[in-house]
Structure 1
């Protein structure tokens, strides 16, 4: 267990925030598989300030999700503070996180996400402004730097702590790397050495062994799993169990993967109309069957689904095919 401000986190396995992925349905699944903390998709400060209905709906939290963090992004101090105050007053989330790591151009054009790593003074102003105006703990997610010539995570982390943040999550890649190459865990270790608030390490955690090595090599307080858990929430459970008892849980069977894929579709339909839920499942379903025999053909079929009945039919036929192969 570790604490972020006054919020107790049951275990040090955290699910990374991902745009278009970590909605309420996904977060509930990940919590059921044992994650200590989950994050929302990133929420636009200006959209909140303008009262955008769809954005405000992203602040909704299910009672079974706690603890959960709402992640906010933006590039201006005033609107970031205003939006954070809105979250503080209108969401029952436990933590407010500031995105200073997103590498995509759309976010960078707003001088937000990892673009802020080029302006350490502005980072300090944003974090300090939010901390002073909300009651919930504030955390920040950063990268190692903007590019190879601007690796400044250690300097930035000190400023973030000085500004009053309760924890820092760091992805060991620069903005320029996007998700390519290898994450630099040594910069994560360096950040951990210079701050006294909890540090969450992120980048290249794809297995139980990776998680253990991250703890050993960096001494972080928690690890953050990202894309490796897509279609594979069992990874979260495996890491949690290994850290707790040393036991290595088996890999999921194809029957379990297909059943969980269908359960995911049902969860999405609890929060979205069927057509929207199935549009989202076009992305999720292929992840669940990744690596299974003849999955390429099935992935193509899944990319066209519009109804849950279609999803169910495709996966039922695929399971019957796999049954004959085993």
Structure 2
């Protein structure tokens, strides 16, 4: 898949997710076949103000490439300036415009999916950013603000005309959030109208879902969010299934525990022991899903405040699984 001049070998991408797509998890997904990864989205206003916290979200390591950085905001000038700052400081492979986030604190600022109610302003933002940088600029949209205002095709055509290099479509409305099934027909409709790559997103929880999205919508790529939290191997498995019709068994119970240990070691490397122990607590429910008697280990891990204790509890769980693999 070509995004501008950037060639992405495996068109199965990791979506930007606030609180999750940090350096360690992005590295884990790249190691397991993700064709590109994205940092957590950041506020254009925060970047222009020089917020150190905002900048910290954009730090990455070279072996993560290709990497995208997603910005949100409502002011065309601030969005353009933040894109220039990102390009100058971080040199990402992609700059992505968020027109899809439906979180209240973003929508209240007339950003994210709120812009689906104001396509002229969306157009001004897209034009300003595209003309501000040389980096390929992409965008992510939803189907529309509500079922009464499905604007995906109109927004997509406009964004392509403004020079957007690729478009990700999440086929739910902002009002729906994640409450209803994603309507993949909207992705197919957008794809039929555009010449730039269209990336589908929504309700992809397995490699079979990903392959089905490719086949049912004709999309050029698939972007996976929550499905990757539950199964970081999903990128490699999707690629294998697409090209061979089958995929190797990965993500066994033991494999997930070992990946959890690897994830912890990466967190220690990039955050230090204290922060790593805290940051890992949200991950245990994903790594230990479906493991018999794992709840007691999870509870102990959440209460743990030291790296050595955390490592020991995970070792105990691994030994328990090895002793009783059933």
TM-score, structure 2 length as denominator?
Answer: 0.96
Q: Which residue of 2 aligns with 1:27?
A: 26
Aligned to 2:289: 290
The CA RMSD over aligned residues, in Å, is 1.3
1:183/1:203 contact within 8 Å kept: yes
Tell me the distance in 2 between the aligned counterparts of 1:172 and 1:303. 35
1-structure distance, mates of 2:314, 2:20: 21
**Cα distance in 1 between the residues matched to 2:216 and 2:51:** 43
1:199 counterpart = 2:216: no
Give 2:92's aligned residue. Answer: 93
Give the structure 2 partner of residue 107 of structure 1: 106
Give the corresponding residue for 2:210. 211
Q: Distance in 1 between matches of 2:298 and 2:180?
A: 27
Q: CA deviation at 1:213?
A: 1.1
Of stretches 250-259 and 64-73 in structure 1, the one that deviates more from structure 2 is: 250-259
Verify the 8 A CA contact 1:231 1:285 in the aligned structure 2.
Answer: no
| Aligned position for 1:174 | 173
> In structure 2, what is the equivalent of residue 15 of structure 1?
14
SS of residue paired to 1:41: coil
Q: Following the alignment from structure 1 to structure 2, what is the Cα–Cα distance between the partners of residues 222 and 127?
A: 21
- Alignment pair present for 1:84 and 2:57: no
**In 2, Cα distance between the equivalents of 1:237 and 1:307?**
33
Would the aligned equivalents of 2:40 and 2:58 in 1 still touch at CA under 8 Å? Answer: no
After superposition, where does 1:40-79 map in structure 2 within 5 Å?
40-79=39-78
What are the within-5 Å matches in structure 2 for residues 196-275 of structure 1?
196-275=195-274
Deviation at 1:280, TM superposition (A): 1.5
> Unaligned 5+ residue runs, structure 1?
none
Greater alpha carbon shift after TM alignment, 167-176 vs 229-238? 229-238
| 8 Å CA contact retained: 1:61, 1:93 | no
Q: What secondary structure, in the 3-state scheme, does the structure 1 residue paired with 2:139 have?
A: strand
Give the Å deviation of 1:175: 1.2
TM-score scaled by structure 1? Answer: 0.96
Deviations 1:121-179 (A, max 9, x none): 11110000000010100000111111211211111101111111000001111112212
Contact preservation (8 Å) 1:35, 1:240: no
Q: Distance in 1 between matches of 2:145 and 2:273?
A: 40
- Gaps (5+ residues) in structure 2? none
How many pairs align?
325
| Partner Cα separation in structure 1 for residue 114 and residue 300 of structure 2 | 39
| Residues 201, 224 of structure 2: 8 Å contact kept | yes
SS at 2:21's partner residue? coil
Deviation per residue, 1:38-80 (Å, 9 max, x gap): 1110011111111111211222221111111001111111111
Q: Which residue of 2 aligns with 1:131?
A: 130
| Shift of residue 223, structure 1, vs aligned partner | 0.6
* CA 298–147 in structure 1, closer or farther in 2 if over 3 Å, else same: farther
Distance 1:79 1:224 in 2: 27
Conservation of the 8 A alpha-carbon contact between 1:169 and 1:201: yes
